[in-house]
Structure 1
């Protein structure tokens, strides 16, 4: 929980009273690898923070799932469109590794916005970070070659290569596992 406060404090200083209100609403849970945190058709009820582990967002397909995001330690995540509108999600969220996650419910977050002096600024910060990640991915898919997307991913997040199956990385950068193997051989060679 200290890491969450540290991240918030980097955005806006908050009183101990405000932190007490916020932290009292956080629930810590541990999940084993491959736990579905949200299924297609369910409504996202939480804004979450990963203390430990990796989470994957994906759209299930008969052949190969379409991976849309990876979330790592010390990052916030949520099926944010579903969370904001309180409507069913069209994708799923699962743990790729054993994970420790802090959750706050939609209702509790609304209460924090009303009861604390910094709640809205903290919520805006989390929302802006989620938006920037999404925009960065979309622009990369539109502007970069598959090899450039792989190299950026490898440079920015080397932990991906160690902990995430290559089929998910291939799906995330928009290519087949075979095409990823060719790129990896070229890059190493």
Structure 2
């Protein structure tokens, strides 16, 4: 739980009272690898902070999934559009390795929002972090080559990328596994 507290304390002076209120609503979950956190068609009820592990965001396909995001240790993850709108999501979230998350439910987060200004700020920081990751990916697809997107992922979490199957990395950067092999051969 210290990692999530440190995350918020980078930008917010949390009083012990507000931290106790927020942390009392957090639930720790240990999730085995290859487990769905949410499936396409379900409504997201959790905002999760990854204490340890990797989560993949993907659109399930009949032949192949389309991976469009990864979340790593020290980041929030959620089907956030579904979380906000209370509507079913069109994608899924899956752990790629054994993962530990701290989760807060939609209802508990709403309760915290209403109880204090700091609680509202905590939720805003989490939502902003998810938005910034999404925006960064969209901009990268518009301006960067596949090789640049691969290198950015590799430099972002070099010690964790070895746990992500190459077919997911290829899908994430928008190329075939064969094209990814050529890029990796060229830059090694």
Q: 2:180 matched to 1:180?
A: yes
Counterpart Cα distance in 2 of 1:9 and 1:155: 25
Q: Is the 8 A contact 1:36 1:95 kept in 2?
A: yes
SS across alignment from 1:181: helix
- Structure-2 residue corresponding to 1:161: 161
Render the CA deviation track for 1:150-181: whole Å, top value 9, x for unaligned. 12222222134311000000000000000000
Counterpart Cα distance in 2 of 1:185 and 1:14: 48
- Structure-2 residue corresponding to 1:102: 102
| Offset at residue 184 of structure 1 (A) | 0.7
TM-score by length of 2: 0.97
Counterpart Cα distance in 2 of 1:182 and 1:108: 48
Unmatched tracts of structure 1, length 5 or more? none
Counterparts of 1:112-151 in structure 2, within 5 Å, are 112-151=112-151
Counterpart Cα distance in 1 of 2:130 and 2:176: 26
| Offset at residue 29 of structure 1 (A) | 0.7
SS across alignment from 1:28: strand
- Structure-1 residue corresponding to 2:77: 77
After superposition, the Cα gap between the structure-2 partners of 1:160 and 1:170, relative to the gap in structure 1 and judged at 3 Å, is farther
TM-score by length of 1: 0.96
Q: Is the 8 A contact 1:21 1:116 kept in 2?
A: no
Render the CA deviation track for 1:37-67: whole Å, top value 9, x for unaligned. 1001000001000111100000011222100
Superposition RMSD on alpha carbons, in Å?
Answer: 1.0
Render the CA deviation track for 1:59-106: whole Å, top value 9, x for unaligned. 011222100111111111110100000100000001000011111000
Render the CA deviation track for 1:111-150: whole Å, top value 9, x for unaligned. 0011123011111111111111101100111111111111
How many residues are matched? Answer: 188
SS across alignment from 2:93: strand
Tell me which moved more, 152-161 or 108-117. Answer: 152-161
Q: Is the 8 A contact 1:170 1:176 kept in 2?
A: yes
Counterpart Cα distance in 2 of 1:60 and 1:176: 17
Unmatched tracts of structure 2, length 5 or more? none
Counterpart Cα distance in 1 of 2:37 and 2:161: 23
Tell me which moved more, 3-12 or 79-88. Answer: 3-12
Q: Is the 8 A contact 1:18 1:117 kept in 2?
A: no
- Structure-2 residue corresponding to 1:64: 64
Counterpart Cα distance in 1 of 2:5 and 2:157: 24
